[in-house]
C-alpha cells in the first residue's frame, strides 16, 4: 500500500454507493466502508467492491472484550479486506486478540489484513476529552500513549489527525502507519470534524494515508474533486 487516498463511502446503502462509483469506472480506488454502509448491506457490499478491483478499509472500530474481538476479526479476515481497525481504548489484550483473530481467519496464501487502532476520534477536542471522557492529559500525549500501546500490541499503525503525525513518526518510526481522516480543502465545510488539515499539509506532515469523505462524496463533481485532492496529496502541481 503506497500512501493511498482512501475515499470514505459514507452512504446509507449499496445503491447509493454504486451510483457514486459510476463516475469512477476507470479508477482503481482505495475505499473505506464504515458502519453506516456495512450494518445495512453486510458482506455483499465488500464482495461487490472487491469484484470492481478496489482495495478496502473496513472501518468498524471494534471495541469489546478480547474474546469477542478475536472471533469478530476472524470472521472479518475471511472477507479479504485490506485494512481493519479497533479502538486503542480497548487495551493491549483486546488489540492482541484482534491480531490473533485476523491471523486465524486469513486463508493460507492470502495476506492478513493490516490492523490499525483509533487513538482519539478526529471529531474529539481536548476540551471534550477532558470534560466528557475524563482524561486529564494533553490530547497529543494521549494520542502518543495510545499509539505506543498499539505498537506494543503488534498492530500496524493508528488512525489519528495529521497534526499528530510528526511526533508519532519521531517516536514510533516511519514504518508505523498513520491513517488520517479530518482532511479538508481550504474552501470546504468543516462539518463535525475538529482537528482538520488540507491534503497538502497532510503530505508535508508525513501521513501514510488520508481518508476523505464529504469533500469528495458531496462535491458537485466528485471525480474532479477526487483528482484535485489526489494531486494535492501527491504533491503534483496542476
Ligand atoms: O466526511 P469526512 O471526510 O469528515 O469523513 C471522515 C471519515 O473518516 C468518516 O467516515 C469517519 O467515520 C472516519 N473517521 C474519522 N475520524 C477517526 C476515524 C474515522 O473521521 N478518528
The SS3 assignment for 55 reads strand
Q: What is the pLDDT of residues 22-38, one digit of tens each?
A: 999 989 999 999 999 99
**CA 131 to chain CA centroid, nearest Å:** 26
pLDDT of residue 19 exceeding 70: yes
Cα–Cα–Cα angle for 119, 79, 46, rounded to 5 degrees = 85
pLDDT of residue 166 exceeding 80: yes
**Ligand 1 atom nearest 192 alpha carbon:** 4
Reading the block at residue 235, the C-alpha cell is 504533491
pLDDT of residue 190 exceeding 90: no
pLDDT of residue 73 exceeding 70: yes
Give me ligand 1 centre to Cα 94, in Å.
Answer: 22
Model's pTM, two decimal places? 0.94
Q: Which pLDDT belongs to residue 42?
A: 97
Q: Which pLDDT belongs to residue 238?
A: 64
* 42 torsion bin: left (phi>0), alpha (psi -120 to 50), beta (else): left
Q: Which pLDDT belongs to residue 14?
A: 97
What is the average pLDDT score of the chain?
95
Give me ligand 1 centre to Cα 129, in Å.
Answer: 17
Give the pocket of ligand 1 (CB within 6 Å): 8, 10, 34, 59, 118, 121-122, 159, 181-183, 191, 193, 211-215
**Ligand 1 atom nearest 120 alpha carbon:** 21
User: What share of the chain has pLDDT > 70, as a percent?
Assistant: 99
Residues 45-67, mean pLDDT to the nearest whole number: 98
Q: What is the pLDDT of residues 89-138, one digit of tens each?
A: 999 999 999 999 999 999 999 999 999 999 998 888 999 999 999 999 99
pLDDT of residue 72 exceeding 70: yes
Q: Which fold has domain 5-234?
A: TIM Barrel (3.20.20)
Cα–Cα–Cα angle for 149, 154, 159, rounded to 5 degrees = 60
Give me ligand 1 centre to Cα 210, in Å.
Answer: 10
Question: Looking at 50, 61, 201, 227, which residue is catalytic?
Answer: 61
**Ligand 1 atom nearest 159 alpha carbon:** 21
Reading the block at residue 98, the C-alpha cell is 484482534
pLDDT of residue 69 exceeding 90: yes
Residue ID of nearest Cα to ligand 1 atom 3:
213
Separation CA 9–CA 162 (nearest Å) = 20
pLDDT of residue 1 exceeding 90: no
The SS3 assignment for 47 reads helix
Q: Which pLDDT belongs to residue 178?
A: 98
Active site residue 152: no
Separation CA 140–CA 33 (nearest Å) = 27
Separation CA 228–CA 238 (nearest Å) = 8
Residues 166-184, mean pLDDT to the nearest whole number: 96
Short-list 185, 29, 208, CA closest to 116: 208
**45-49, 95-99, 182-186, 198-202: which has the minimum mean pLDDT?**
182-186
Amino acid at each position: 500500500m503506497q500512501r493511498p487516498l482512501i475515499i470514505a463511502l459514507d452512504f446509507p446503502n449499496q445503491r447509493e454507493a454504486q451510483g457514486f462509483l459510476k463516475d469512477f469506472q476507470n479508477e482503481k480506488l482505495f475505499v473505506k466502508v464504515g458502519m453506516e454502509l456495512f450494518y445495512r448491506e453486510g458482506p455483499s457490499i465488500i464482495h461487490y467492491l472487491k469484484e470492481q478491483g478496489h482495495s478496502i478499509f473496513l472501518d468498524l472500530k471494534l471495541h469489546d472484550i478480547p474474546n469477542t474481538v478475536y472471533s469478530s476479526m476472524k470472521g472479518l479476515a475471511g472477507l479479504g479486506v485490506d485494512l481493519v481497525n479497533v479502538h486503542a481504548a480497548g487495551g493491549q489484550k483486546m488489540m492482541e486478540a484482534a491480531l490473533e483473530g485476523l491471523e486465524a481467519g486469513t486463508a493460507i496464501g492470502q495476506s492478513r489484513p493490516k490492523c490499525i487502532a483509533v487513538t482519539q476520534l478526529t471529531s474529539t477536542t481536548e476540551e471534550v476529552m477532558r470534560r466528557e471522557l475524563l482524561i486529564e492529559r494533553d490530547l497529543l500525549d494521549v494520542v502518543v500513549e495510545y499509539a505506543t500501546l498499539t505498537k506494543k500490541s503488534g498492530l500496524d499503525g493508528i488512525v489519528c489527525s495529521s497534526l499528530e503525525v510528526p511526533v508519532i513518526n519521531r517516536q514510533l518510526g516511519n514504518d508505523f502507519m498513520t491513517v488520517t481522516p479530518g482532511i479538508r480543502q481550504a474552501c470546504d465545510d468543516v462539518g463535525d470534524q475538529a482537528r482538520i488539515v488540507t491534503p497538502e499539509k497532510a503530505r508535508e506532515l508525513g501521513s501514510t494515508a488520508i481518508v476523505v469523505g464529504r469533500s469528495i462524496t458531496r462535491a458537485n463533481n466528485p471525480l474532479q474533486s477526487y483528482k484535485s485532492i489526489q494531486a494535492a496529496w501527491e504533491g503534483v502541481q496542476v
